[in-house]
Structure 1
Amino acid sequence: MIEDWSGAYVSKTVVNRGMSAWSTTAEEVGRTLPKLADDVESYLSTAPWGGGAEGQAFYKAHCGDGGPIEMVRQAKRLAEQIVDAGDRLRAAIDNTLQTDADIRHDLTRMAREV
């Protein structure tokens, strides 16, 4: 872990490239995952395992403790978090870059006044 950040430099080009990749991935996840999750939930709601003893044993073994339905719910939450994290990270980066610019401006102004 880096403990001394003095002299650190944030490359706006590298950050923008990374954020662009994140946004592309987040958009893809946000667009495709809800439909896929709805499809899985729809298929599971038909109870394809059947109502007999074997079907009930299958259901208990594979759907107990939430099974695939819980996995789908968690995937939906994760997709929302992926999209939200990108938005929050972009705001944090923009704030950091603006703060750095303000500090540089203040230091330049102070140097001229001295």
Structure 2
Amino acid sequence: MNGNWDGAFIAKSVDRGISAWSTTAEEVSRELPKLAAEIEERLAAAPWGVGAEGEAFLRAHFSDGGPTEMIAQCKRLAEEIVDVGDRLRQAIDNTRQTDADIDHDLTRMTREV
């Protein structure tokens, strides 16, 4: 391979991949709040009890943020999944438009010569 990009293009299968990414991102955005609320509700019920053993479990379970930190990280990850898909789609659209513009310019140059 000589490193030349002549003839390189973005295959239409990219559209299917981006659509699948978007579908998954939408599902994550829709389902995560429900799951997080369910976990938070169950944590609020304090099923570990109020005795010494319950207090020990609570301290161990919530050390370093515990499940609340996990929920926060999942929410940030879900936002990133949506954002990456949007940015990737924009990058692909920009690349395709640039390719079309270059092709148009090259066609005009050929005619003018």
Task: Output the TM-score relative to the length of structure 1.
Answer: 0.90
Give the corresponding residue for 1:25.
Answer: 24
What amino acid maps onto 1:113 in structure 2? Answer: E
Q: After the TM superposition, which residues 47-62 of structure 1 pair with which residues of structure 2 at under 5 Å, given as runs?
A: 47-62=46-61
Match of 1:78 in 2: 77
2:10 is aligned to: 10
- Matched AA of 1:9: F
Q: CA deviation at 1:5?
A: 6.3
Q: Distance in 2 between matches of 1:50 and 1:73?
A: 25
Unaligned runs of at least 5 residues, structure 1: none
Give the SS at the match of 1:55: helix
Q: TM-score, normalised by structure 2?
A: 0.91
Partner of 2:36: 37
State the identity %. Answer: 67
Q: Give the aligned partner of residue 109 of structure 2.
A: 110
Displacement, 1:98? 0.3
Separation in structure 2 between the aligned mates of residue 18 and residue 6 of structure 1, nearest angstrom: 23
**Residues 1:63 and 1:92: Cα distance change in structure 2 (over 3 Å):** same
Query: How many angstroms does 1:46 deviate by?
Result: 2.0
Provide the C-alpha distance between the structure 2 equivalents of 1:46 and 1:111, rounded to a whole number of angstroms: 74
Consecutive unaligned residues in structure 2, runs of 5 or more:
none
Give, in angstroms, the shift of residue 45 of structure 1.
Answer: 1.7
Q: 1:97 to 1:36 in 2, by over 3 A?
A: same
The whole-number CA distance in structure 2 between the counterparts of 1:66 and 1:14 is 42
Question: How far apart are residue 88 of structure 1 and its match?
Answer: 1.1
